[in-house]
C-alpha cells in the first residue's frame, strides 16, 4: 500500500490471538451493544488470512485489528454505520480499531452493508436465488471459500446461514464434470515428464512435475468437496485434507527428487494414491488403480483418461456434456487479477453462458 501507517498504531504490540477469535470478542463486547434494537446479522467473511484461519503474528504487521461485517437492511446502512462509527473505542484489547495511510482517511474495521450489496460486490450474483450454471463456473473457488469460511456471530433470521448453505458446494453433476476436467489436466501432461527427461530437458521435466503436483492437490480438494484457496494458502489447506497423509509425502518426493527415475517413481506413487482416493470417494464405478506404460514407450503413467471418461459417464446434463473440458474459471486460468476481481471474472460468465446455451 502507498504511504506509511498513521499514528493510530499502539506503542506496544499486544499478544497475538487469531483474528476470528478477536472478531467474535469485538462483536460480543463492543459492536453488538451498539446495535441494540437494530435487526442485523454479523460475521467475519471475505478476504484475509484470518477468515481462512491461517493468520499468525506475521499477519499483524499491516491493517490488522478487530474487524467484521454487519449486515442490515439497505435503508439502515447509513445510520447504522454512523452509530457504530460514533461508538467504537480507538482500541480493543490493545489493538487499534481504526487504520489508515497518510493519503487515505482512517476508518474503523466494521463494514456495515446489506447482504444484497455484499454478495453482488463479492460474487456478482445473489446466492439466495437459484444459482445459474454460468455463475458457478465463473466464480473462483477462493471467492466461494471467502463466503463460506470465516464465522458468523449473529444471524437471528438465518439469512447468512442460507446464503452460506447455498454456496457450500457445487451441484452434484457439475462437481462430476469438474472432476473430469481436473483429471483431464493430469491426463494431458503426465506422459510429458518422461519424454522431456529423455531428450535431456531436466528443467522442463521438473516444471511439468510441479504442475502435476499442483493439479493433484487441487483434485484432492475436489474429491473431498472442499474449495481450494489461492496459491499462498494452497499447501496449508492441503495439509488439512484427509488425503494429505496418503498424497502429501509422495508429492513432496516428486518435487525433491534429484533425477528423472526418482521423480517418476514418486509421481506414479502419487497418481496411484489419487486413483485410490477417487475410488474411495465412490463418485464413479471403481477403476484400476495401477499405473502402466504410455503406449510402448518406457514412461509409466496412470492413464488418467480412464477417470475422465468415468466421471463424464455419470453426467446426464447435456449442457455440461456439451462444454469443452476446460473446467471452471480457476481450472481455465491462473491470473490473480482475473481470479480476484468480480468485475473481471464475472465477464467470463457470458462466455460460459454462450457455451451452455448458444449465442
Cell numbers of 247, please? 498424497
Cell numbers for 342, please give them: 468480480
pLDDT of residue 9: 47
CA 156 distance to own-chain centroid: 27
Position of cell 500500500? 1
C-alpha 347/C-alpha 343 separation (Å) is 7
DSSP code per residue over 200-226: T-HHHHHHHHHHHHHHHHHHHHHHTT-
| Rounded (10°) CA dihedral 169, 172, 178, 182 | 90
- Looking at residue 237, what is its pLDDT? 97
Our measurement of the distance from residue 145's CA atom to the centroid of its chain's CA atoms, rounded to an integer in Å, reads: 5
Report domain extents, the chain. Answer: 19-166, 172-327
Per-residue pLDDT at 100: 58
CA distances from 120 to 124, 139, 224 (A): 4, 12, 28
Q: Which residues contact 6 (CB under 8 A, 6 or more apart)?
A: 99, 100, 101, 102, 106
pTM of the model: 0.91
Q: What is the pLDDT of residue 340?
A: 84
pLDDT value of position 232: 93
> In terms of Cα–Cα distance, which of 56, 12, 317 is closest to 170?
317
Q: pLDDT value at position 1?
A: 34
User: What are the DSSP E strand ranges found in the chain?
Assistant: 41-44, 68-71, 91-92, 95-96, 98-101, 104-108, 110-113, 151-154, 292-293, 300-301
How much is the pLDDT for 5? 43
CA–CA–CA angle 107, 110, 114 (5° rounding): 120
Rounded Cα distance between 310 and 349, Å, is 27
DSSP category for residue 169: S
For residues 64 and 95, the answer to whether their CB atoms sit within 8 Å is yes
pLDDT < 50 stretches in the chain: 1-10, 104, 106
What does the pLDDT read at residue 80? 94
Cell numbers found for residue 120: 453482488
What is the reported pLDDT for 30? 95
The dihedral built from the CA positions of residue 189, 195, 197 and 202, taken in this order, carries a sign that is negative
Q: What is the mean pLDDT of the chain?
A: 90
Contact between 278 and 287 (Cβ < 8 Å)? yes
Amino acid at each position: 500500500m502507498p504511504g506509511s501507517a498513521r499514528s493510530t498504531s499502539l506503542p506496544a504490540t499486544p499478544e497475538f490471538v487469531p483474528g476470528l477469535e478477536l472478531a467474535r470478542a469485538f462483536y460480543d463486547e463492543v459492536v453488538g451493544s451498539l446495535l441494540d434494537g437494530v435487526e442485523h446479522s454479523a460475521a467475519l467473511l471475505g478476504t484475509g488470512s484470518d477468515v481462512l484461519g491461517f493468520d499468525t503474528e506475521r499477519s499483524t504487521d499491516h491493517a490488522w485489528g478487530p474487524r467484521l461485517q454487519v449486515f442490515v437492511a439497505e435503508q439502515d446502512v447509513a445510520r447504522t454505520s454512523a452509530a457504530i462509527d460514533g461508538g467504537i473505542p480507538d482500541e480493543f484489547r490493545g489493538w487499534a480499531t481504526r487504520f489508515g495511510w497518510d493519503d487515505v482517511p482512517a476508518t474503523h474495521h466494521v463494514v456495515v452493508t446489506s447482504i444484497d450489496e455484499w454478495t453482488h460486490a463479492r460474487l456478482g450474483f445473489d446466492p439466495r436465488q437459484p444459482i445459474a450454471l454460468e455463475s458457478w463456473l465463473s466464480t473462483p473457488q477462493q471467492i466461494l471459500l471467502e463466503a463460506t469460511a470465516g464465522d458468523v456471530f449473529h444471524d437471528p433470521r438465518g439469512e447468512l446461514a442460507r446464503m452460506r448453505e447455498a454456496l457450500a458446494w457445487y451441484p452434484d453433476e457439475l462437481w462430476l464434470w469438474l472432476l473430469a476436467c481436473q483429471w483431464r489436466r493430469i491426463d494431458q501432461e503426465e506422459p510429458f515428464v518422461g519424454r522431456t527427461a529423455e531428450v535431456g530437458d531436466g528443467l522442463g521435466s521438473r516444471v511439468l512435475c510441479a504442475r502435476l503436483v499442483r493439479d493433484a492437490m487441487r483434485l484432492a480438494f475436489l474429491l473431498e468437496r472442499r474449495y481450494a484457496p489461492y496459491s499462498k494458502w494452497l499447501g496449508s489447506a492441503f495439509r488439512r485434507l484427509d488425503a494429505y497423509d496418503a498424497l502429501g509425502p509422495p508429492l513432496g518426493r516428486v518435487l525433491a527428487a534429484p533425477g528423472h527415475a526418482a521423480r517418476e517413481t514418486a509421481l506414479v506413487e502419487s497418481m496411484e494414491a489419487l486413483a485410490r482416493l477417487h475410488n474411495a470417494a465412490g463418485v464413479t464405478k471403481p477403476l484400476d488403480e495401477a499405473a502402466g506404460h504410455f503406449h510402448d514407450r518406457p514412461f509409466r503413467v496412470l492413464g488418467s483418461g480412464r477417470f475422465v471418461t468415468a466421471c463424464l459417464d455419470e453426467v446426464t446434463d447435456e449442457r455440461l456434456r456439451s462444454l469443452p473440458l476446460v473446467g471452471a474459471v480457476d481450472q481455465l486460468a491462473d491470473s490473480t487479477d482475473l481470479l480476484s476481481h468480480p468485475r473481471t471474472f464475472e465477464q467470463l460468465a457470458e462466455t460460459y453462458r454462450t457455451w451452455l446455451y448458444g449465442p
